[in-house]
Amino acid sequence: MKKFVTLLIFTVLFLLQVGELYADININVNINKKPTKESKKNYPEYFNQIELIEAYMYAWEILNYQTMYHLLSHSAKDNITFAEFKNLLSEKTKVDGTVNTYKITKNKFANNSYVVSYKCTRASYRQVKAEAILVNQKGAWVIDKGNIIPYNMNYFNR
């Protein structure tokens, strides 16, 4: 019994000493605090035209519409909202599936213009040819015009 009492006393003393070590810890919880806004997502800028189009097509392949929309010029965004852009691409994806192969070639007849031949997973055997006209905006390349941007389904399906 003496051993038990001694062990109990040492345990209580030990716990008191440990408690003193942690006595200065303050925990502040503000349950009324509103959540902060998520920081604005940083998208990469493209200084190479081919890399820009590859990024756009890869984003399309993985259905990342936010990245695709970000790669458009200001004037292109003035012609279509993100919601319309996403809706048109979603409708196209329901019919044709996602982009699974593409080839990018420089348009020899126009500056900063490229032809993108792509094929979707559920589409027919033929490839779709789309044009992408690029502009340099604040030192980085963005997509400005062309039927690679879905302003409406008629224009998009040409």
**Report for 8-12, 18-22, 26-30, 52-56: range of highest mean pLDDT:** 52-56
Mean pLDDT for 36-48 is: 72
pLDDT, position 78: 93
Ordered domains of the chain (ranges, CATH): 49-156 (3.10.450.50)
What distance in Å separates the CA atoms of residue 92 and residue 105, rounded to the nearest whole number?
Answer: 23
pLDDT given for residue 93 in this prediction: 87
Dihedral angle, C-alpha 123, 129, 131, 132, nearest 10 ° = 50
What would the pLDDT profile of 60-107 be if each residue is shown by its tens digit?
A: 999 999 999 999 999 999 999 999 999 999 998 888 888 888 999 998
Of residues 26 and 82, which shows the higher confidence score? 82
User: Predicted confidence band at 37 (pLDDT cuts at 50, 70, 90)?
Assistant: very low
Whether residue 46 has pLDDT greater than 60? yes
Of residues 103 and 18, more confidently modeled: 103
3-state SS, 97-149, equals CCEEEEEEEECCCCCCEEEEEEEECCCCCCCEEEEEEEEEECCEEEEEECCCC
Give the global pTM. 0.69
Q: Residue 128's pLDDT is what?
A: 85
Distance CA 69, CA 143 (A): 9
Q: What confidence tens digit (pLDDT) does each residue in 107-138 have?
A: 888 899 999 998 888 766 678 888 999 999 99
